[in-house]
Structure 1
Amino acid sequence: MFSRYRILIGGIKDRLTEALLKYEKASIILRVALSIVEERGRGQVGDFDYKTLTSKLLELGYDFEPKMILRALERDFGIIETSYKSSNQHWWRFIDLESVRDALDQGEEDPEIVLIRTQATSLGLEDIERKLQLLLQRGIRSDVDRAMFKRLAFEDLPLLLDVYKRSVQYEETKDISTRIKKILTLASRIARISNAKVNNSGFPEKEGERKDNHVDSVRLLHGKDPVGD
């Protein structure tokens, strides 16, 4: 259904919160649409139609065109989907009616929490953790391994650390901070093992530092790890 739409990130609640932040009238439209469902029930053709929605909006004193927001709720946020469309009718169905109702009842979520979740998802935590687990198991044995770890250390881990520092401040994002802490700890272990091998290889200290100085990028100043083990 969403192949022609943008890739959707997060659950219904997260996407709904993002939509409400972007379109202040989205809450009005969705609440009126829910009222139509409550009055008529969920029909085979759909949950609500454009004609009834605009009529209800006018009855409530809202004089604005909802087409653009309805299109965004469907294509950009995956909250509703077209269930029937003809030359003079357009019906939609809620993707997850109960989740939308619950989210609206609970009120808008803190935008910072939405941002943290979205950024964590975009970083691909599972993929980063998988790569680090692989490096930890087999060690950094080749130029390819060193390049991979350097890229992770300088490109991905700084972004993860930023998300971690903000995610620990909220109970709602505790799962994210826990996952990122595990990833940073893995990176720190790889760095320590790599440094130990270099120091025991017989290279002079400066040469060892020059050859593998990228492993220190996952440590804080004075040799401390980004987060506690």
Structure 2
Amino acid sequence: MLSSDLKEKVFSFLQKYGDKGFIVLKTALSIAKDPNIDHKLGDFSFKHLVLKLNSMGFSYNPVNLIRILEKEFGLIEKTYSSSNQTWWRFKDIDAVEEAVYSENDVEKVEDPKIRLIAVKYRSLEPAEIYAFLQKTLIKPSLTPADKAKFRSMVFNEIDQLVKLVDEMYNYEEFFEYEISFIKEIFKLAEKLSRRIENEHLRGFRGRQTISQEDILRDDHRGHS
């Protein structure tokens, strides 16, 4: 496969699968380039990929995206498989890396308004917000620090991201992925806010029950 054809496949994959696809592909590349990993079986393994994603705060299962990279786009090929590990290699790692890290369409646009929107988006570090929300949602219990950080994030970064969507819709052809990713962030934020509310209500009802018991107990003492 010509490197130009392969790059087009990378662009198509990123266009279709957005930030999740970018993160999985970028993480696989980083594993392939890691000198501390033994690559005799391939560029990256499923185990390494999952561990690396988890360490970055991304808890989603990359199995479907890996299958798509292999079967649908032909960017990787399986080199080893056993009962406890599976490895792949990039068919042309240099071409994939160049495509992943090349300038995107927004950066090639002359319109300063479009480029400013892209700058605003990147400055808010949406991937970090997404990672925090995912990590916090799977915690067995939330600390006051978790809630405080979430509250600050809602009134600052997430609020700014949602406002940014309105600007992006004016240039939707350039910001399709970003709009989709912001919507994913907002869904996670809604889930976390509902969890915090439910925990608060459970605590409030518990205190209310205790209070009623105290009243009844005091009332009983008054009549005895």
Q: Same fold (TM over 0.5)?
A: no
TM-score bracket for the superposition, by shorter chain length: 0.3 to 0.5
Higher helix share: 2
Answer 1 or 2: higher relative contact order, Cα 8 Å, separation at least 6: 2
TM-score by length of 2: 0.43
TM-score w.r.t. length of structure 1: 0.42
- Which has the higher Rg, Structure 1 or Structure 2? 1
